[in-house]
Amino acid sequence: MTKILIIAPNWIGDAVMTEPLITKLKEIYPSSSIDIMATPWVASIMRAIPAVDEVIIANLNHGAIQWAERKAIAQQLQQKNYSHAYILPNSFKSALIPWLAKIPHRIGYRGELRWGLINQALDNPSRSHRPPMSTHYFALSKAPSTSTPEPMLSLPPEVLIATQQKLQALKNHEQLFVICPGAEYGPAKQWPTEHFAKLAEQLAVESANNLILILGSKKEAPLGQAISHLSQHPDQVINWCGETSLDEAIACISLAGSVISNDSGLMHIAAAFKRPQVAIFGSSDPRHTPPLSSKAKVHWLHLECSPCFKRVCPLGHSKCLVDITPSEVLNSVHQSIQ
């Protein structure tokens, strides 16, 4: 039996983009087992991919070689007799474990000092011609593709039922709106807090049966709290930033009637569950990192200074985000759920 190990990327959005590759490998090797080695913060994504058999947690520090730790992990993996390893990050250190584990076929893109660590290497595309990440990863399967593969995630019914019951206990509601106001990259990708609050207020006013749930990391908790406070509907606009695991946040997103977010990992999760969504872009470019879903609506002003790909607006005005009004986004939310 073919045994495949995949070294997962470290960003949530990139982890979502691996699903088409993993699913295709299962089609190519139908009797295979596919295991994923992932950091704790992307393991939840990998567990939502049905073709994955096991997720192996590697709690390695970002940017550190940690030679002893990687060697110990490799010794454990060697006992599993993997035949293939797909190394998705481009870093030297990400290729070390499959090489140390003596996995015969080690597939990946040429990256930093990986000569010999990767023995079936593909050329990295130039930055000016880099395809969407789902296409980039999918190419490692060497299967033909005529369009951009759209990731698809799914959760077991029992998880969805438990999450729905938890949400109903929070507030009895008919429609769930999920707001994701954060963006790990920086404030140049974050729609203003006041705009999110105005949108949440408008959704709450439209119906007392609407639940507006704010999701994000613990460091985004003050941002979520500010949105909830400014909306003046604390019984309907509820801040769960930092209050859920990523598994729980994923389940909430999968049940949402609409998801409103910045360009972020949670945006890509919503797209992979094919939820109606509105994605707001500022310093980044939706032509390069769009939500890959026909149910997604994108707001991007494409100003003369945009995309700049900066973490903080270099001009100090953030007009690419400020000038996208709550009313415009609300209109798109309505259109997304029709």
pLDDT tens digits, 272-283: 999 999 999 999
Task: Write the CA distances from 150 to 53, 62, 92, integer angstroms.
Answer: 21, 28, 28
Helix (H, G, I), strand (E, B) or coil at 262: strand
Domain boundaries, the chain: 3-141, 158-336
For 158-336, give the CATH class: alpha beta
Percent of the chain with pLDDT over 90: 87
pLDDT tens per residue, range 195-234: 999 999 999 999 999 999 999 999 999 999 999 999 999 9
Tokens encoding 269? 């999760």
Please provide the distance, in angstroms rounded to a whole number, between the alpha carbons at the two ends of the chain: 47
CA distance 159 to 44: 13
Closest alpha carbon to 97 in 109, 111, 113, 86: 86
Please report, as a single letter, which amino acid is at residue 285. D
Residue ranges of the chain with pLDDT lower than 70?
A: 63
Is 3-141's fold the same as 158-336's? yes
- E strand or H helix at 206, and its extent? helix 193-206
Helix (H, G, I), strand (E, B) or coil at 59: coil
What's the pLDDT at 266?
97
Tokens encoding 2? 């073919």
pLDDT tens per residue, range 147-204: 999 999 999 999 999 999 999 999 999 999 999 999 888 899 999 999 999 999 999 9
Query: What pTM was estimated for this model as a whole?
Result: 0.94
CATH classification for the domain delimited by 3-141, as one of 3.40.50.261, 3.40.50.2000, 3.30.230.10, 3.30.43.10: 3.40.50.2000
Closest alpha carbon to 90 in 73, 107, 66: 107
CA distance 233 to 292: 32
